[in-house]
Amino acid sequence: MSLEFGDLTTQIAGDGRISAEEILELRRLGWADGKMSPDEAESLFSANDACDEPSAEWCDFFVDALTSFIVHTVEPRGYVDQEMADELVARIDHSGHVDTMVELELLVHVIEAATSVPASLRSYALKQVESAVLHGDGPTRRGELTSQGINPTEVTLLRRLIFGTGSERPAGVSKAEAEMLFRIKDATLYDVCAPEWKDLFVKGVANFLLGFAGHEALSPERAAELEAFMADDGAGIGGFLARSATSVPDVEGAFGSLLGIGGDEPEYLGDFAGDAEQAAELDPGEHSWLHDMLEADEELDELEKALIAFIDAETGETFVPRPGKT
């Protein structure tokens, strides 16, 4: 850590205030060498802890700087490993909860920016929002954000977490996330909720049941291999594709026509079409899961009716709840 950076963050921590000029100077000093050190990251946490009323400019800088450090420190870049995730949680956790919106925003932004994060980090972040809704306490319940039900800020955070790049199913909703949406729905059913909540509940659960997110992202190990290969100045793109096609089964379909191997039509296109068509239907397991979720309370509420109507429209079929659920 540079002496100037350390002196400035120590000064901020000492008086609990930070000016726009100091933020600009921290930006200049923090990225002077193109990267941030662990000591510099820790000094930012300490300065944030000491800020009584952090400005919007400080919050933006804090989130941007630490997201860059967390997501791009460990190789391969973009993959947050378990150790880094655990360190982040340990630094912002206070008896199981995040205390401030800037810390919660950092957590969410890391998940959005990363290619992949550990499941424990996603679960921790979702728990923060769910807990605030269920118990009426937390950073999303303070000041202008306070309200009954689920407020617009909480809906936005849930949407970002569920559909974030580093989420459990990028571009798709997992079973655990769909069940969380049902828990929040049941807890806030008779409260005044944000208008956006109904749309997130209906389309979020429907995405789990009907959504198609395509093939999974590369594993961190495979990403590291490809990153190392592309860093090799002597590597040619043709050689890269050929070696990928022979070492990774799914890649032959993707690059087969380009390389002149395999059949006339890339195999992955057929797989994609089949998966997408199957996703537009409810299989027996999905039928059973939805019945179970609907039967958790005594009658069909307005959000459940909206969900069924949406699924019927998407599948062209009629979902009929079990007898006794009307």
Domain chopping of the chain, boundaries: 3-209, 232-278
119, 176 Cβ separation under 8 angstroms: no
pTM for this entry: 0.75
Between residues 260 and 264, the one the model is more confident about: 264
d(CA 105, CA 123): 15
- Please, what's the b/e burial string for 126-149 (b: 16 or more CB within 10 A of its CB; e: otherwise)? bebbbbbbeeeebbbbeeeeebeb
User: pLDDT digits over 25-74, tens only?
Assistant: 777 776 655 577 888 888 889 888 888 778 888 899 899 989 999 998 87
**Distance in angstroms (rounded) separating the CA atoms of residues 104 and 108:** 6
User: By CB neighbour count within 10 A (0-12 exposed, 13-18 middle, 19+ buried), where does 116 fall?
Assistant: buried
Percent residues over pLDDT 70 in the chain? 68
Give the H or E element holding residue 94: strand 93-94
pLDDT > 90: what percent of the chain? 43
Which of 60 and 229 is assigned the larger pLDDT?
Answer: 60
pLDDT the model gives residue 240: 35
